[in-house]
Amino acid sequence: MKSQPLPRAANWIRSPTLDAHCLICGKPLGSEPHRVTACPNGVHERCRPWQRQPFTLESQLERLRTVARALASAHRDTVALGRRLRRLHDNWPPARPESAMRKVEKESARLRRVLDSLRDKLWV
Ligand SMILES: [Zn+2]
């Protein structure tokens, strides 16, 4: 039996990405942003039929709503504590110092909890 010569390496070892083309426009995927949908081929991001794509960022939108509510709450608590401290400053010394200081400590602790909670929401 006569053996056949192997083809040149360049003919049969090729990167699949070199031949990959866009299933919409037919041009090479190249280095443009794309998604591989039928390996090695795919669709350029600019060619995707966006009008038929569902909105995929719902969870990110809901997360931003949660952060916005937490920021608004933290802002209200910060302003409230600032007003209390300003009144305390303007009426120093207060008639009942222990009670005034207890209220400040209580509101400070609340604000710390709100800010800790906010930090968790931002970085998780
Ligand atoms: Zn394309």
43 and 79 together in one domain: no
Are 40 and 64 within one domain?
no
**pLDDT digits over 73-102, tens only?**
899 999 999 999 999 999 999 999 999 999
Which band of pLDDT confidence, cut at 50, 70 and 90, is reported for residue 2? low
42 in the same domain as 73: no
- Distance (angstroms) between ligand 1 centre and the Cα of 60 equals 27
Looking at the fold, whether 68 and 118 belong to one and the same domain comes out as: yes
- How confident is the model over 9-24, as pLDDT tens digits? 544 555 555 689 999 9
- Residue 44 and residue 62 in one domain: no
User: What distance in angstroms lies between residue 32's CA and the mean position of ligand 1's atoms?
Assistant: 9
Q: Does residue 118 share a domain with residue 86?
A: yes
Statement to judge: residues 32 and 72 lie in one domain: no
**Is residue 69 domain-resident?**
yes
Position 114 scores a pLDDT of 87
- The answer on 113 and 86 residing in a single domain is yes
Domain count along the chain: 2
Find out whether 29 and 17 touch, Cβ atoms under 8 Å: yes
At residue 103 the predicted structure's pLDDT band, cuts being 50, 70 and 90, is: very high
Q: Do both 32 and 81 map to the same domain? A: no
**Both 62 and 44 in a single domain?**
no
Going from the Cα of 15 to the center of ligand 1, the distance in angstroms, rounded, reads 19
In 3-state terms, what secondary structure has residue 35? Answer: strand
Query: What pLDDT was estimated at residue 32?
Result: 94
Query: pLDDT at residue 6 above 80?
Result: no
Give 25-79 pLDDT, tens digit per residue. 999 999 999 999 999 999 999 999 999 989 989 999 998 898 899 899 899 999 9
Q: Which domain holds residue 21?
A: 9-48
Question: Are 69 and 109 members of one domain?
Answer: yes
Q: What is the pLDDT of residue 81?
A: 96
Amino acid letter at 36?
V
Token pair recorded at residue 9: 């390496």
Angle between helices 97-123 and 58-90 (to 10 degrees): 160
CA of 97 to the centre of ligand 1 (A): 73
Average pLDDT over the chain, rounded to an integer: 86
Q: How far is the CA of 12 from the centre of ligand 1 (A)?
A: 26
